[in-house]
Amino acid sequence: MFLCGNKVVAKRYHIWMRVLLLVLFCIIPRQGKAGTLEFNQLRREILAQAYDVKLAAKEIDISQQRIREAGAAYFPALSFRYSNEWFKDFTESSGGLDSVGGTVISSSGSKWKNVATLSLNYTLYDFGTRSLRVDSAKLETEQTRRQKEQREQDVSLQVLDLFARGWRLQTQQNIQQQRLELAEERYALGQRLYQAGTMDRIKVGELAIDVAETRLLVEQLQRQFVDVLWALTELSGHCYEPTTTFVPLGASDAASVTIALLPEVQALDLAIETKQNEVDMALRRFLPTLNLYSSYTFYGRDSSDWSQAFSDLDDTNFSCGITLDVNLFNGFGDLAQFERLKLEKEHLQLQREKKVAELTTRYQTLKYRADQSPDKKQRWSHTRRTLEEQRDMMTRLSQQQLRDQVTQIGQQLDLLEQQLQVRLDEIEQMTALNQLTLLSAYQFRPDF
């Protein structure tokens, strides 16, 4: 008994320390939020602060620049190059040829040499590789948009889960607090009956144990409630006091969800299409590429002064031509890349099938719960009325002293337990309906 008492005291100490820390964190250095929490408003606040959503938005900007990067292949590449070098002719020959900066010029002994070259290169035909790169960049941009919607959906569902937990714990706390007050009243009556000799000590001990267990349960629920508030604080950046209350979720009609339109599935569809473009580009590496090139060159020389050689860029030449590049053999590297990309595409297709199966099972479960909502609403309403009527009748009978008060309080405790189960069932139902609403909304527009 002594060890059990120490454990209970330790648990209570940790619970109240967590509550105290939350209060201090919310007051210093900023004021915490009290009052009520409404789901849609809370979701919008958290989406505005969520780093995952901000990162996804930045990834969209990055992918849009990749479209511009891929489209640059349709423009010619223009470059300029200047070279300066000292050429030493140990044989002091009177003539011949030498080169500077890749350009062959005549040589007449040791000298400073300079060359300036303006070059242009342009791909005339590559069997559609450039267009595939641009298409892949556009698909990647659309994929990042769907991934952003998916992250918003994930954050929204996470907020809904925390909100439902907070609402559930709040309901449990209220019911268990009522049970604790009734249990304490019953225990006090039991002590009086024990002193009067009409109740044995074992029964009084059972009533005391029930009070202790109920009090411990209330404290545990309070600790879990504070944990939910901490989790919401981490997401929203706002502090919430332990007295915060959750507004019950509103009922809505069961929304229809098309699995193929969900952001997760569409992101995988776009990834598969992008991978197919990569496969096509790898296949085109076996085909020739037709390129146009041209250059205009200025060059000069001086036997003693490099600056004079720089100013003597009088000689010029111009070249223009067409090249046909064919990849004949590179150790089967392109073939291995082609096979690897095909396997990666098949891997993405399997991932899509797995995701569709998971989402289908999840949707069917939520839909099953939602389809039972109309019938359950009637049963909930009828059960609540019945429980309230029985509780009022027991209270009147107790006041008229027509029944044993200890027994009557025990029955009230049973009624509260039944009432709690009805409310928890209703919370689960409303949570499932709101999950369907979130899933269906993100099929079409992410901001609502």
- What percentage of residues in the chain have a pLDDT greater than 70? 75
Are both 399 and 417 inside the same structural domain?
yes
CATH of the domain at 88: 2.20.200
- Residue 447 inside a domain? The answer is no
- Residue 269 inside a domain? The answer is yes
Query: In the predicted model, what is the mean pLDDT of the chain?
Result: 80
Are both 158 and 45 inside the same structural domain?
yes
In this structure, are residues 279 and 342 in contact, taking their beta carbons and an 8 Å threshold?
yes
pLDDT at 441 over 60: yes
Are both 217 and 103 inside the same structural domain?
no
CA angle 275, 280, 283 (to 5 degrees): 130
According to the model, what pLDDT value does residue 22 have?
53
Beta strands 315-325 and 36-37, pairing class:
unpaired
According to the model, what pLDDT value does residue 343 have?
95
Beta strands 36-37 and 245-246, pairing class:
parallel
- Residue 243 inside a domain? The answer is yes
- Residue 130 inside a domain? The answer is no
Are both 27 and 81 inside the same structural domain?
no
| Local structure of residue 102 (DSSP, 8 states) | T
Are both 282 and 301 inside the same structural domain?
no
Q: Final residue of a domain: which of 305, 325, 345? A: 325
Q: Final residue of a domain: which of 275, 310, 325? A: 325
User: Where is average pLDDT lowest: 1-5, 138-142, 240-244, 298-302?
Assistant: 1-5
Which tokens sit at 305? 């002064």
User: Where is average pLDDT lowest: 158-162, 235-239, 396-400?
Assistant: 396-400
CATH of the domain at 422: 1.20.1600.10
Beta-bridge mates of residue 106 = 97
Confidence at 88, pLDDT banded by 50, 70, 90: confident
| Closest of 399, 300, 276, 418 to residue 349, by C-alpha | 276
Q: How far apart are CA 334 and CA 326, in angstroms?
A: 13
Are both 186 and 100 inside the same structural domain?
no
- Number of domains the chain contains: 2
| Closest of 208, 126, 142, 160 to residue 432, by C-alpha | 160
Q: What mean pLDDT do residues 29-58 have?
A: 81
- Residue 446 inside a domain? The answer is no
In this structure, are residues 352 and 268 in contact, taking their beta carbons and an 8 Å threshold?
yes
Task: Mention every residue, 6+ apart, whose C-beta is less than 8 A from residue 160.
Answer: 39, 43, 431, 434, 435, 438
Residue 222: other Cβ atoms inside 10 A: 19
| Closest of 261, 303, 267 to residue 111, by C-alpha | 303
Are both 90 and 213 inside the same structural domain?
no
According to the model, what pLDDT value does residue 107 have?
59
Are both 24 and 144 inside the same structural domain?
yes
Domain that holds residue 54: 2-68+137-287+331-441
In this structure, are residues 56 and 141 in contact, taking their beta carbons and an 8 Å threshold?
no
Q: Final residue of a domain: which of 278, 298, 325? A: 325
Q: How far apart are CA 69 and CA 184, in angstroms?
A: 74
According to the model, what pLDDT value does residue 406 have?
73
Are both 424 and 350 inside the same structural domain?
yes
193-202, 405-414, 438-447: which has the highest mean pLDDT?
A: 193-202
Give the Å distances, CA to CA, from 283 to 123, 203, 290. Answer: 18, 85, 17
- Residue 346 inside a domain? The answer is yes
| Local structure of residue 240 (DSSP, 8 states) | B
Are both 293 and 180 inside the same structural domain?
no
pLDDT at 32 over 50: no
| Local structure of residue 313 (DSSP, 8 states) | -
According to the model, what pLDDT value does residue 1 have?
39
- Residue 294 inside a domain? The answer is yes
Are both 293 and 420 inside the same structural domain?
no
Which tokens sit at 68? 């511009």
Are both 377 and 270 inside the same structural domain?
yes
According to the model, what pLDDT value does residue 433 have?
86
pLDDT in tens, 209-220: 989 999 999 999
According to the model, what pLDDT value does residue 29 have?
43
- Residue 131 inside a domain? The answer is no
Beta-bridge mates of residue 289 = 325
Which tokens sit at 225? 């409630």
Q: How far apart are CA 372 and CA 432, in angstroms?
A: 11
Report the chain's C-alpha Rg in angstroms: 39
